């Protein structure tokens, strides 16, 4: 599955700016993703475990680097690498009864596919430590209260809510969205002066785009803009 995600991401990175405006990652059936197969892991040699870990890290990182906004719709059980993959998305929605967990410390390891630092950037440090140190299960409603997800909704409404969110994003200009994503991601890792310099570097070229001209014209003409990623 990790290889499939990497392959899909490579295809998405090569599409025209206006072809794919937002991406939803969700599961089919009762689970979003339950992580590694522990029964299979029992037969792993050290090199097998290392190969698995490298693939898990690469898949989550590759998904996090997609240029367009990404949404995780957590429809059910979301454990281990599944939860780490959701954290690689820009926005997370969860079914209220979805079960989320970082079980790794019960197995002698810790969330190693990027989930640990991503969680620490997303929620207060004490919350991140509690969830990882205790390896406890929490539901979608609590995930919203803790700040792990943006919204918790009844399971039957989840995909509708995710699509509605994606559509509200997709109607906006793709060049601006992608530039904003790059600036937002860099802002948390850089001193303010460096982040401000990047913001200016990303923002100034957008003044000379067809999309900006279209946005201004559509506002003046009181109509919906048609952005083309140009």
Q: Is the pLDDT of residue 190 over 90?
A: no
**Residue closest to 6 by CA, chosen among 88, 47, 61:** 61
How far from chain centre, in Å, is Cα 84?
A: 9
Using H for helix, E for strand and C for coil, what is the string for 114-151?
Answer: CHHHHHHHHCCHHHHHHHHHHCCCEEHHHHHHHCCCCE
The CATH code for residues 2-169 is: 3.90.226.10
Domain positions in the chain: 2-169, 173-220
Q: What tokens does 160 get?
A: 């509708």
Render pLDDT for 65-84 as a digit per residue (tens, 0 to 9). Answer: 999 999 999 999 999 999 99
Q: Is the pLDDT of residue 220 over 80?
A: yes
Please, which pLDDT band fits residue 29 given cuts at 50, 70 and 90? confident
The lowest-confidence range among 53-57, 185-189, 192-196, 215-219 is: 185-189
Vertex 130: Cα angle to 124 and 133 (nearest 5): 135
Q: What is the reported pTM?
A: 0.91
Q: To the nearest whole percent, how much of the chain has pLDDT over 70?
A: 97
Mark residue 150 as left, alpha or beta (left: phi above 0; alpha: psi -120 to 50; beta: remaining).
alpha
Please tell me whether residue 163 adopts helix, strand or coil conformation: helix
Q: Are 153 and 95 in contact (CB under 8 A)?
A: yes
Q: Is the pLDDT of residue 199 over 80?
A: yes
Q: Is the pLDDT of residue 41 over 70?
A: no
What pLDDT, on a 0 to 100 scale, did the predictor assign at position 42? 66
Please, which pLDDT band fits residue 210 given cuts at 50, 70 and 90? very high
What pLDDT, on a 0 to 100 scale, did the predictor assign at position 125? 97
DSSP lists the bridge partners of residue 78 as 33, 100
What pLDDT, on a 0 to 100 scale, did the predictor assign at position 87? 97
Q: Are 204 and 137 in contact (CB under 8 A)?
A: no
DSSP lists the bridge partners of residue 24 as 71
Q: Are 33 and 81 in contact (CB under 8 A)?
A: yes
Radius of gyration of the CA atoms of the chain, in A:
19
Q: What tokens does 60 get?
A: 């989550």
Over residues 188-217, mean pLDDT: 92
Q: Is the pLDDT of residue 38 over 70?
A: no
- Return mean pLDDT, the chain: 92
- Strands 138-139, 99-101: pairing is antiparallel
Give the residue with greater pLDDT, 45 vs 200. Answer: 200
Render pLDDT for 138-172 as a digit per residue (tens, 0 to 9). Answer: 999 999 999 999 999 999 999 999 999 999 999 99
Render pLDDT for 97-124 as a digit per residue (tens, 0 to 9). Answer: 999 999 999 999 999 999 999 999 999 9
Show which residues are catalytic.
84, 104
Residues 6 or more apart whose CB falls under 8 angstroms from that of 220 comprise: none
What pLDDT, on a 0 to 100 scale, did the predictor assign at position 229? 87
């Amino acid at each position: 599955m990790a290889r499939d995600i990497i392959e899909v991401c490579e295809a998405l990175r090569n599409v025209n700016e206006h072809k794919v405006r937002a991406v939803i990652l969700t599961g089919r059936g009762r689970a979003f993703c339950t992580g590694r197969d522990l029964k299979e892991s029992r037969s792993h040699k050290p090199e097998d475990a290392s190969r698995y870990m490298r693939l898990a890290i690469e898949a989550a990182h590759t998904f996090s680097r997609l240029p367009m906004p990404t949404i995780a719709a957590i429809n059910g059980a979301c454990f281990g690498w599944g939860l780490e993959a959701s954290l690689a998305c820009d926005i997370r929605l969860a079914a209220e009864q979805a079960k989320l967990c970082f079980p790794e410390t019960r197995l002698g390891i810790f969330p190693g596919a990027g989930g640990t630092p991503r969680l620490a950037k997303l929620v207060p440090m004490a919350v991140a430590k509690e969830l990882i140190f205790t390896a406890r299960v929490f539901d979608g409603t609590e995930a919203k209260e803790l700040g792990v997800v943006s919204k918790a909704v009844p399971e039957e409404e989840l995909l509708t809510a995710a699509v509605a969110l994606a559509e509200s994003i997709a109607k906006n200009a793709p060049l601006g969205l992608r530039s904003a994503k790059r600036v937002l991601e860099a802002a948390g890792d850089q001193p303010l002066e460096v982040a401000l310099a990047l913001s200016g570097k990303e923002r100034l070229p957008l003044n000379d785009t067809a999309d900006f001209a279209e946005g201004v014209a559509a506002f003046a003409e009181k109509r919906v803009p048609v952005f083309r990623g140009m």
